[in-house]
Amino acid sequence: MTSTTQQTQAAEIAVVAPLDKTLSYSIPTTLAMDVRIGSRVRVPLGRRQVVGYVMGWMEPGDTPLKDILEVIDPHPLFHAHHAAFYLRAARYYVCPPGVAVKTALPAGLSALDSKPSVLSDKLYQATTSEEQPQGARQREILNFIRSANQATLSQLRQQFSAPHAVLQRLESLGFVQVEEIERCRDPFAEVAVDDHQAVVLNPAQQQAVNQVEEALEGPASFRSFLLHGVTGSGKTEVYLRAIARTLKLGRQALVLVPEIALTPQLVARFRSWFQEHDVRLAVLHSGLSDGERYDAWRQVARGDIDVVIGARSAVFAPLPDLGLIVVDEEHDGSYKQSEGFRYNARDLALMRGQMDEAVVLLGSATPVLTTYQRALDGHLTHLQLPERTAERKLPQVQLVDLSQHEGESLLSEPLQAALAEALQAGEQTLLLLNRRGYAPFLLCHDCGASLRCPNCDITLTYSQVQSSLRCHYCDFRINPPSSCDHCSGVRLLPEGMGTERLEEEIRQNFPDARVARMDRDTTSRKGAHHRLVGQMMAGEIDVLIGTQMIAKGHDFPAVTLVGVLNADTALNLPDFRSAERVFSLLSQVAGRAGRGDRPGRVMIQTYAADNYALDYVARHDYQGFAELELSQRQALDYPPFGYLVNLVLSGNDENKVHNAAEQLSANLMSSAVAGSMDMAVEVLGPAPCLLPRLRNKHRMQILLKSVQREPLRRQIEQVGRFRSQLPAGVVLTVDVDPVDMF
């Protein structure tokens, strides 16, 4: 039996349905040559037909099996070792295998009648004839084809206007041969590639490169590294050299980034580096069209790609011979999928590295504390870049105590003065306000009522630009009312601040400044991130206002001032990770300042100037923060010294959800005692979720905590047994290793 084609009569199929296991189907003799691991197939399920994916082979037993009805794709979408990876990931995160595979693959492949279009092109090759045609235009086009050995119709259209008739004539005269080929869409075909600028590594960078290359050049085996470097320390240069070594060894590389916004800048840098070496790059993320992602995926599966760059879903890319996985900004919460298949791409990168015998390189200036502790324990090799490149200094960080600078303006006097100085000097500024819209809510100043989402227990965010009130969870929208529904008062005024309001104020106070905004509202259209980044790099923006996406990995050399407006908000969230999130976000955004030739300056407005997390940010002291935070976590058995699973029950009927949560908690506690696990797994709750009603669903949660993973896995198995006892209308979601409790 081989791993590519079937030698048995039955296949293991992951069907796109909420089933916790794969199903067995018989392979008809008419399809025997077409069914392969990774094939997308049509199969019967009960009285209906669904899409499934071939995950493996099996010997049929005595029980009759239903037949596979159709092979939908002529070529497999992944290979045998990818199937094993997908199934292992699905088991770990307690996700139906078909749902996990559906999530891994490009969108649009789970419906029976859906198949992304495949574009075609024509490839022209010159025959062996050395004669020349009579027409001057025919000779011109033929000589172009001969000089290039071959040319596609797309290439010829770029060189010559309306070449079709001439090409048909050349074909009929026997000067060229033509064949139909597949044309792949390239979302970055028009992205300009600058010439590569050689960079001399400093000793710390070179030492990191040497250690990674040593791991790559040895016998194929799993090795993991934490590249812990301050912002601006040149981590990307280490990535590039590690990738170059991987490619020279004949293997492939995968690079994960946390945000789509980072992809164009990274792709341009990689193309610049590798443009002379004919390296084939592909990009995978949800911002692409279905066709673009489908094209890239099939190229990867065929082995036509050397390096894949993408967001979290790219961890599933079917690279046949993966040698290196880079996870950039590994601390970022965007690597965790928040719905459906709730995987964490950072953790799956480590799992895949083990299964593919690849080197995994995690990089960050502020590693997540679980990763940092693994490095301290020796499970990852700790590589450190303690200084910025070119001997640049880290920016000076100032905490602005708002209790001493209260006023009507969103900007304190010190920050306004610093902004004026930066504008006068022709320097760029970033302003972080992690709340989009004009204001968090409208408040009636007669009765104190606020307008709330009818589907979620939160206030509606007011957007003055769109003249609407919007829920950012369920996308409910209404026009602002003229009067209050509670008291008929007309004094409905915006309260709080959002990025829209900040933009308005900056434009009023600094009318000559070129101001732009980067948040979900301004970057929803395709290419919007790239345009904003390009404008910043070209010096066409003086002040960039944004939510946390402006803190993620951007390299703007002209930015000398960073201002943070609402540093306190996240500190007050009831989550044991709140201090870590604040420290990471503020350290990252602070790191955007002073990356060029001019020194940087950071001003953080806060009412909690004595908070320990802010103090460590101001001192650029990751190690000090980590030591204090880890000691507190260890005392409470929280990660990385313990493991968590969050069980969320939701439904339309609040009483049903509450009763089901109480019953499930009681069952879990009794099963733990019966299984002698009462000291191994702690059952906390049930309690209302931090957002107790979301998208019109009432929500309760139960938290499972253990200092050992195995008892927790056994308890999760009990959860599966109790799931069938839930009342109709109540849904149970299992979130393994949750990163938040919202």
pLDDT digits (tens, 9 = 90+) for 181-192: 777 777 666 556
Least confident piece of the model among 113-117, 142-146, 604-608, 690-694: 113-117
pLDDT score of 677: 46
Residue percentage of the chain with pLDDT more than 70 = 95
Interval 441-463 mean pLDDT:
83
Distance of CA 667 to the CA centre of its chain: 36
Measured in degrees and rounded to the nearest 5, phi and psi for residue 432 equal -100, 120
Interval 421-425 mean pLDDT:
96
Token pair, residue 560, equals 């000398």
Interval 621-630 mean pLDDT:
97
pLDDT score of 531: 84
Interval 274-291 mean pLDDT:
80
Q: Rounded to whole angstroms, how far apart are CA atoms 672 and 689?
A: 23
State how far the alpha carbon of 374 is from the alpha carbons of 528, 641, 673, in Å: 38, 10, 31
539 close to 409: Cβ distance less than 8 angstroms: no
Q: Rounded to whole angstroms, how far apart are CA atoms 311 and 318?
A: 15
pLDDT digits (tens, 9 = 90+) for 630-687: 999 999 999 999 999 999 999 999 999 999 999 999 988 887 655 554 458 899 989 9
For the ranges 143-157, 225-239, 548-562, the one whose mean pLDDT is highest: 225-239
Domains and CATH numbers, the chain: 10-104 (3.40.1440.60), 119-183 (1.10.10), 204-390 (3.40.50.300), 392-436+498-632 (3.40.50.300), 643-736 (3.30.70.600)
Stated pTM of the model:
0.89
pLDDT score of 4: 47
Closest among 395, 451, 447, 453 to 604, alpha carbons compared: 395
pLDDT digits (tens, 9 = 90+) for 217-272: 988 899 999 999 999 999 999 999 999 999 999 999 999 998 776 666 777 788 88
* DSSP element (H, E) containing 6: none
pLDDT digits (tens, 9 = 90+) for 340-369: 999 999 999 999 999 999 999 999 999 999
Closest among 648, 660, 645 to 742, alpha carbons compared: 648
Residue percentage of the chain with pLDDT more than 90 = 55
- Provide the Cα torsion 134, 135, 136, 140; round to 10°: -90
For the ranges 310-324, 393-407, 668-682, the one whose mean pLDDT is highest: 310-324
Residue written as token pair 């006023």? 407
Residue 322 has pLDDT above 80, yes or no: yes
424 by Cβ neighbours in 10 Å (0-12 / 13-18 / 19+) ranks as: exposed
pLDDT score of 408: 65
3-state secondary structure of 82: helix
* DSSP element (H, E) containing 256: strand 252-256
549 close to 259: Cβ distance less than 8 angstroms: yes
pLDDT digits (tens, 9 = 90+) for 117-133: 677 678 888 888 878 88
pLDDT score of 312: 94
Q: Rounded to whole angstroms, how far apart are CA atoms 661 and 689?
A: 12
Q: Which residue has the higher pLDDT, 389 or 527?
A: 389
Confidence grade of residue 28 (pLDDT, cut at 50, 70, 90): very high
Interval 199-209 mean pLDDT:
95
Count other Cβ atoms within 10 Å, centred on residue 120.
10
pLDDT score of 117: 67
Q: Which residue has the higher pLDDT, 95 or 524?
A: 95
pLDDT score of 446: 80
698 close to 652: Cβ distance less than 8 angstroms: yes
Residue 734 has pLDDT above 80, yes or no: yes
400 close to 593: Cβ distance less than 8 angstroms: no
